[in-house]
Amino acid sequence: MDYGIYLNSKQNNTIKNCIITDFERGFYLYSSTNNTLANNTANSNTYLGIYLYYYSTNNALTNNTANSNYDFGIFIRDYSNNNTLINNTINSNNKGMALFFSANNTLINNTINSNPYMGIYLYSSSNNTLINNTINSNGQRGIYLYSSTNNTLANNTVNNNTKRNLSQ
């Protein structure tokens, strides 16, 4: 596998002001906790821009940009709980942002536009909070909740998504 920056079981790191392009996965945190990613750019990676996987918890992602990555701009997966994502820009990826099997994450003031498949996708994820996000002009769906419960959505702007702005 090809990674721009890879943290495996690492804690309390700060990664800031990095530009990662043309890798398979731009930023990849595996079982890593209490890390900060701030003011980074993950563009044109062949799979994922920013990936938090398998018990990557209590991380803060702030003011990052993930554009034109082949699959997901930001993907949070498999028990990656209690992460905070604020003021990130996620545009022109196949899928904008997804949470799979993850809980208690907070998404605030993110901009997720022009992703051909969907803006935000929650799959079997619960107790997440989405506030003041802008999700516009994505392909099939703006916000898609599948088998996801007890999530809080408030004051999000969701417009001009091809099929549905919000679906469950």
**What tens digit of pLDDT does each residue of 76-131 get?**
999 999 999 999 999 999 999 999 999 999 999 999 999 999 999 999 999 999 99
Determine contact, residues 133/156, Cβ cutoff 8 Å: yes
d(C-alpha 12, C-alpha 34), whole Å: 5
The fourth-level CATH superfamily of domain 3-167 is Single-stranded right-handed beta-helix, Pectin lyase-like (2.160.20.10)
d(C-alpha 71, C-alpha 14), whole Å: 25
Buried b (16+ CB within 10 A) or exposed e, 70-93: ebbbbbbbeebbbbebbebbbbbb
Q: What are the pLDDT digits (tens) for 25-82?
A: 999 999 999 999 999 999 999 999 999 999 999 999 999 999 999 999 999 999 999 9
d(C-alpha 1, C-alpha 165), whole Å: 35
Q: CB neighbours (10 Å) of residue 157?
A: 12
